[in-house]
């Protein structure tokens, strides 16, 4: 789901090796893909391993901010599966859910100012 103008792309461990794929050849995109959990647990508890663990933690923080709205859409609003209603109706529903998610995530700040 890349449009081609990205400078940096964050991904989970399932995207390891994406920079080597043929469709990414010649692109200047920097990929920051998470280390697989087993490799992360195996990092040494030494001065060499600690910075790598901090880098992985920073990647996880970025991904968490991106994934949180999808959790709200799926769990708070129950949008688990797309029904065969047509592309226009599904696009409209996802746009409405995205707007509601923004309100849901900002509800505390909105209520505090009221």
What pLDDT, in 10s, does the model give residues 4-33?
777 888 777 878 888 888 887 788 888 888
Q: Name the more confident of 11 and 114.
A: 11
- Say if 24 falls within a structural domain: no
Residue-wise over 45-64: b if at least 16 C-beta within 10 A, else e?
A: eeeeeeeeeeebeebeeeee
Asked whether residue 23 is assigned to any structural domain, the reply reads: no
Tell me if 73 is assigned to some domain.
yes
Q: What is the pTM of this model?
A: 0.55
Determine the pLDDT at residue 53. Answer: 80
- Residue 84, pLDDT > 70, answer yes
Domain count, the chain: 1
Structural domain contains residue 26: no
Residue 92 lies in a domain: yes
Q: Which domain holds residue 100?
A: 34-113
Residue 8, in any domain of the structure: no
Backbone angles phi, psi at 38, to 5 degrees: -65, -40
Round to whole Å and give the CA distance between 83 and 41: 40
Q: Which residues pair with 33 in a beta bridge?
A: 11
């Amino acid at each position: 789901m890349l449009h081609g103008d990205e400078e940096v792309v964050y991904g989970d461990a399932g995207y390891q090796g994406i920079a080597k794929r043929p469709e990414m050849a010649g692109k200047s995109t920097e990929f920051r893909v998470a280390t697989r959990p087993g490799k992360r647990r195996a990092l040494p508890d030494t001065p060499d391993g600690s910075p790598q663990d901090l880098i992985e933690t920073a990647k996880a923080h970025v991904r968490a901010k991106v994934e949180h709205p999808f959790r709200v859409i799926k769990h708070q609003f129950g949008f688990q599966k797309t029904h065969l209603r047509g592309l226009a109706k599904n696009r409209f529903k996802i746009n409405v859910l995205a707007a509601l998610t923004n309100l849901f995530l900002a509800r505390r700040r909105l209520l505090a100012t009221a």
